Amino acid sequence: MRLLVRIVERRSFTAAATDLDMSRSTATEGIKQLEAQLGVRLLERTTRIVTPTLDGDAYYRRCIAILADIEEAEGAFQDAEPRGLLRIDVHAMIARRFLIPHIPAFLDLYPRIDLHIGEGDRLIDLVREGVDCVIRAGEPTESGLIMRRVATLNEMTCASPAYLARHGVPATPADLQGHRMIGYLSSRTGEIIPLEFTVEGRLDYVTLPSRVTVGGADAMGELARLGMGLIQAPRYRFVDDFAAGTLTEVLADYPPSPTPLVALYPQNRQLSPRVRVFLDWAVGIFATADL
């Protein structure tokens, strides 16, 4: 059942066999035996992809429920250890700054869990790509996923000393006349995201002229260091720049709204013990982090 579920989700015998630490030939033979036992064809195979038949899809959905019940039953015992391969996907900088330094301690705490960490910034298809959960910044709009907030990221406004020397240091958002920003394009709308300022308890939005627009946070940070304009981003991203003097915070009394950091996992699954302990652990890591 676990093999069939993984093949359907990964759409590949090879990928599923790798996930389950078995050879492709073993996976192929296992499915042949299962189909013979049930007396139905479960999978359609082409040279590029594997898809379930109607019978296969119905059996796959029953398998999900059965396997979730088994995992929950095993996890009900006090001495039952979370086990198996845990596949997560986290934005690269968040993973490297906050999580990866503590991964050895996590694996020592749960010696029967193996971990795969993907470093992405897109909202992936968790089921199709065989990922147990993702951690992303911002409020998701996609349906079919359960969200758990793991932290809140403080945002700030900054620019390089060279830019501020040319354009002046604004004391309030009203002083931004004549300033420019590095345009950051929203991956959802394709439009430039305006700057955001908290003024007397309300949010004001300002869109300044921008000679350069970008679609990635790393490019935006590098252009800010080169003096191309104001930017807004989570504070943790530029801690090293503040220490080195390559970027300077401005308008600290008018901060942007904080950004939620959330974990997402499929709603058609019961939360497995290994995902549960990972999320509890991650919440603890972020609770003590300088965000």
Least confident of 96-105, 139-148, 152-161, 199-208: 139-148
What pLDDT score was predicted for residue 272? 76
Q: Quick one: 131 and 269 in the same domain?
A: yes
DSSP states along 69-85? HHHHHHHTSTTPPP-EE
Q: Please check whether residues 236 and 274 belong to one and the same domain.
A: no
Query: In terms of Cα–Cα distance, which of 72, 112, 96 is closest to 278?
Result: 112
Residues paired with residue 159 on neighbouring β-strands, in sequence order: 248
Quickly state the pLDDT bin for 186 (edges 50, 70, 90): confident
| Strand-pair partners of 202 | 199
- Do residues 172 and 253 both lie within one domain? yes
Q: Do 75 and 91 lie in a common domain?
A: no
**Residue ranges making up the domain that contains 88:** 82-148+259-291
CB-side neighbour CA atoms (13 Å) of 171: 0
The full DSSP string for 92-146 is HHHIIIIIGGGHHHHHHHSTTEEEEEEE--S---HHHHT-SEEEEES----SSEE
What lies within 8 Å, CB to CB, of 238 at 6+ separation is 156, 158, 221, 247
Average pLDDT for the chain: 88
Is 203's pLDDT higher than 60? yes
Phi and psi dihedrals of 272, rounded to 5?
-70, 155
Buried b (16+ CB within 10 A) or exposed e, 143-166: eebeebebbebebbbbbbeebbee
- Percent helix, percent strand, percent coil in the chain, to nearest 5: 40, 25, 35
> Of 84, 188, 195, 65, which Cα lies nearest the Cα of 132?
84
Q: Are both 52 and 66 inside the same structural domain?
A: yes
Here the CATH number for the domain that contains residue 283 is 3.40.190.10
- Shared-domain flag, residues 2 and 44: yes
Instruction: Say yes or no: 117 and 246 in one domain.
Output: no
Domain boundary among 27, 54, 80: 80
Length of the chain counted residue by residue? 291
Cβ contact 220:170 at 8 Å: no
Q: Are residues 89 and 75 in the same domain?
A: no
Pairing of strands 133-137, 202-206: unpaired
Q: How many domains does the chain have?
A: 3
pLDDT recorded at residue 211:
93
Q: Is the pLDDT confidence value at 21 over 90? A: no
Residue 215 has pLDDT above 70, yes or no: yes
CATH code, 47:
1.10.10.10
Give pLDDT tens digits for 217-249: 889 999 999 999 999 999 999 999 999 999 999
Separation between Cα atoms, residue 238 and residue 245, nearest integer Å: 10
Query: Where does a domain end: 80, 95, 125?
Result: 80
Contact by Cβ (8 Å): 56, 29: no
Residues 54 and 111 in one domain: no
Q: Are residues 98 and 179 in the same domain?
A: no
Residues 268 and 136 in one domain: yes
Looking at 40, 58, 80, the residue that finishes a domain is 80
